[in-house]
Chains A and B, each alone.
Chain A
Amino acid sequence: MSIRHGLLALLERGQMYGYQLRAAFEESTGSTWPLNIGQVYTTLSRLERDGLVRPLPESEAGQRPYEITDAGRADLALWFATPISRTDRPRDELAIKLALALTTPGVDVRSVVQAQRSATIRALQELTRLKYGSNRPEDLPWRLVLDSMVFQAEAEVRWLDHCETSLVRHRPSAPAPPGDADARDAARWAGEEARR
């Protein structure tokens, strides 16, 4: 996304100026997506250029509110109606890192997996704590955002578990240098797994 569609959705509630938009954006994402005011104004000027919002006269305090246009409403409706394609998301650095770790000599893949697992579970602990502290009905949008992050982190850990199991069962025999402790460990592991 699309700070762009985030701002359009907020303006659909009513006219707002930059700082209000920033505060409302952070409120609805529970500060999990901090936005700086520069990003808000850059996005607003692009939306204005594309005819999706229009500026209103400045207030006495010198704040210029914006309102959504009909074209903006149509764009927003299309965004809500269109599923997000997985191919539009950024490539997963972790998957690439692990794939490279497997084929790079001297890298202890199990350590890479464990370090990531530990960090991801720590993130899960943080997210859970934030969730635990927010029980008011008006916190629901935020809790759902947190839940989404919780489920993504959980999926990552499950994938890491899967990688570790695969690693034990199908350790590539290729580029382990002689005396590689990790390779020895993996071999021992594989033996024990087989005996179970």
Chain B
Amino acid sequence: MSGSDDAVLELRAVHRTHGSGPAAVHALRGVSLVVRPGELVAVMGPSGSGKSTLLALAGGLDRPTGGEVRVEGQPLGALDRRGLAQLRRRRIGYIFQQLNLLGSLSAVENVALPLELDGTSGRRARALAMAALTEVGLPALGDRFPDQLSGGQQQRVAIARALVGERRLVLADEPTGALDSQTGEAVLHLLRRRIDAGAAGVLVTHEARHAGWADRVVFLRDGVLVDTTAPLGSVEQLLSGSDR
């Protein structure tokens, strides 16, 4: 795991223990992971294996009890609350199964919110939010409220919010939720496109079909990374079959 200079996300021997003594639960036990620009890493593992904990630590939503998490080279442990909040607003996008859209705000206002909280002027935030909504295929629905949108459209708004502005790290936890398979696929397509444009991503999923969108799949078991898929060849190699 050396040569991680260009890593967008780096976990170094990360531990996360809840509680102490005999009742302690070791959610993660020495996990190391590097995710570079243009790379989507899927994390798979049974329930309780530590997938969501890993994602929360990567996004600065939780702090490790051992080891270090870095985002774009910045150790999160060195940041105070405010610095961490700023990094989360500016550089990290989250896509969760629960969309957490605010019902009293329109789609474009929901997307613009993190930018405005960060001091971007209202007009510019709105322009960037419209660009993000266009990227996810909803250019005309910006003024609708969440309850006027279908489930798939709401999920797209949540993705636009995760991608708006200069986000370099996108973290997704079962992002297709209860969407039907076509809509779910469209969501992953959008995520993949953003990664191909230079972001880095971590996708937590229990569905193998979704993990198929990743460049690399790692397997967690009892808080330990136990396996990873071999790197993929080029599409030309795949088509010629020389890779098998």
Residues on A facing B (Cβ under 8 Å): 31, 34, 114, 117-118, 120-122, 124-130, 132-133, 150-151, 153-154, 157-158, 161, 164-165, 189, 192, 196
Query: A158 to B229, Cβ gap below 8 A?
Result: no
Q: Which residue from A34, A122, A150, A192 sits with its C-beta under 8 Å from B232?
A: A122
Tell yes or no: B3 within 8 A of A by CB.
no
14 pairs of residues in contact across A and B, judged by CB atoms under 8 Å: A34-B241, A118-B228, A120-B208, A121-B208, A121-B211, A121-B212, A122-B229, A122-B230, A126-B232, A126-B243, A128-B213, A130-B235, A151-B209, A154-B207
A/B pair count, beta carbons within 8 Å: 69
Query: B209 to A125, Cβ gap below 8 A?
Result: no
What 5 additional pairs, Cβ within 8 angstroms, besides A118-B229, A121-B212, A121-B229?
A31-B241, A124-B212, A130-B239, A158-B208, A165-B46
Tell yes or no: B219 within 8 A of A by CB.
yes
Query: B232 to A31, Cβ gap below 8 A?
Result: no
Output the nearest chain B residue to A161 by Cβ-Cβ distance: B46
**Within 8 Å CB of B29, what residues of A?**
none
- Known: A114-B226, A118-B229, A161-B46. Contact between A125 and B214, CB under 8 A? yes
Tell yes or no: B95 within 8 A of A by CB.
no
Query: Shortest beta-carbon distance, A144 to chain B, in Å?
Result: 13
Q: Which 8 A-B pairs have the closest CB atoms?
A: A124-B212, A128-B212, A157-B208, A122-B229, A154-B209, A154-B208, A125-B212, A121-B217
Output the nearest chain A residue to B241 by Cβ-Cβ distance: A34
Query: A196 to B208, Cβ gap below 8 A?
Result: no
Q: Which residue from B192, B208, B209 sits with its C-beta under 8 Å from A132?
A: B192
- Known: A114-B226, A117-B219, A132-B192. Contact between A127 and B212, CB under 8 A? yes
Interface members, chain B 124-160 (any A CB < 8 Å): none
Interface members, chain B 206-225 (any A CB < 8 Å): 207-209, 211-215, 217, 219, 222
Query: B46 to A124, Cβ gap below 8 A?
Result: no
Output the nearest chain A residue to B211 by Cβ-Cβ distance: A121
**Within 8 Å CB of A126, what residues of B?**
232, 238, 243
Query: B238 to A130, Cβ gap below 8 A?
Result: yes
Q: Mark B44-88, 1 if CB is under 8 A from A, else 0.
A: 101010000000000000000000000000000000000000000
Query: A125 to B46, Cβ gap below 8 A?
Result: no
**Within 8 Å CB of B232, what residues of A?**
122, 125-126, 129
Query: A150 to B229, Cβ gap below 8 A?
Result: no
Query: A125 to B235, Cβ gap below 8 A?
Result: no
Output the nearest chain B residue to A168 by Cβ-Cβ distance: B46
A117 to B208, CA, bound (A): 9
Q: Which residue from B44, B46, B222, B235 sits with its C-beta under 8 Å from A121?
A: B44
A172 to B74, CA, bound (A): 49
A189 to B239, CA, bound (A): 41
**Within 8 Å CB of A165, what residues of B?**
46
Tell yes or no: B227 within 8 A of A by CB.
yes
Output the nearest chain A residue to B206 by Cβ-Cβ distance: A161
**Within 8 Å CB of A153, what residues of B?**
208, 212
Tell yes or no: B18 within 8 A of A by CB.
no
Output the nearest chain B residue to A193 by Cβ-Cβ distance: B48
**Within 8 Å CB of A127, what residues of B?**
212
**Within 8 Å CB of B227, what residues of A?**
114, 118
Query: B48 to A133, Cβ gap below 8 A?
Result: no
